Amino acid sequence: MFIEPSRKKEIMTPRTGWIEVICGSMFSGKTEELIRRLNRAKIARQQVEIFKPAFDKRYHAEDIVSHNDNSIRSTPVQTPSEILLLAGSCDVVGLDEAQFFDQSILDVCNTLANSGKRVIVAGLDMDYEAKPFGCMPQLMSIAEYVTKVHAICVVCGEVASHSFRTSPSRERVLLGETDAYEARCRRCFNLGDRVQRP
Ligand SMILES: [Zn+2]
């Protein structure tokens, strides 16, 4: 489990910031892990702000909602640059569904971390074709800490790192359609529709 570096509020001492990335497939618990870290920061009386891309309108516009209903309020933004305007005096910035941000999120994360903030980014590392997803590879490169979380393959029970799309659509972004995916291990992902279910 990720144990965060200590961050004591020491007046007059310039602090360093850093970037953490939490990545994995669908159903791997990325958002739950993001919420866990943010809740711990709140207990430590740090000011926390959470942002996500505005077009992710699943469930509730203002809430970051994980699949187990453990939720934290968040602010939808149209562009990454809005985060710089809104992050203000907070200590910790959380970003959910980060794979949907454009490449300018890299500069935004660096600017936030360079100004002393802790930045925690959660997102899908691969799309449904098992290709690296959007800005995530670069975010993992510039981060100080990277955590890859895993799901369980619904076919065979092995550790799963792939998001298999069960619907025929070839659109990369299928929002609010968690029913259209299953977590699969590499082997069952490659077998596709040829898997033998127990
Ligand atoms: Zn499997």
pLDDT tens digits for 143-157?
999 999 999 999 999
> Residue 25: is it exposed, middle or buried by C-beta count within 10 angstroms (0-12/13-18/19+)?
buried
For residue 126, give the DSSP letter: B
Task: Tell which residue, 63, 144, 49, has the closest CA to residue 91.
Answer: 49
Phi first, then psi: what are they for 191, rounded to 5°? -70, -25
pTM of the shown model: 0.88
Distance 137 CA to ligand 1 centre (A): 24
Distance 59 CA to ligand 1 centre (A): 29
Q: Binding site annotation covers 29?
A: yes
Q: What is the pLDDT of residues 72-96, one digit of tens each?
A: 778 899 999 999 999 988 999 999 9
- CATH number at 32 reads 3.40.50.300
Domain tally, the chain: 1
Average pLDDT over all residues of the chain:
88
Convert 63-82 to b/e letters by CB count within 10 Å (16 or more is b): ebbbeeeeebebbbbeebee
- Which strand (E) or helix (H) includes residue 90? none
In the chain, what percentage of residues exceed pLDDT 90? Answer: 71
Residue 95 lies in a domain: yes
97 a catalytic residue: yes
* pLDDT at residue 87 in the model: 93
Assess whether pLDDT exceeds 90 at residue 180. no
The model's confidence at residue 10, banded by pLDDT at 50, 70 and 90, is low
* pLDDT at residue 5 in the model: 82
Residue 177 lies in a domain: no
Q: Binding site annotation covers 192?
A: no
Could you list the residue range(s) of the whole structural domain that residue 64 is in?
18-149
* pLDDT at residue 97 in the model: 93
Q: Binding site annotation covers 25?
A: yes
Residue 99 lies in a domain: yes
Which is catalytic among the residues 10, 97, 158, 177?
97
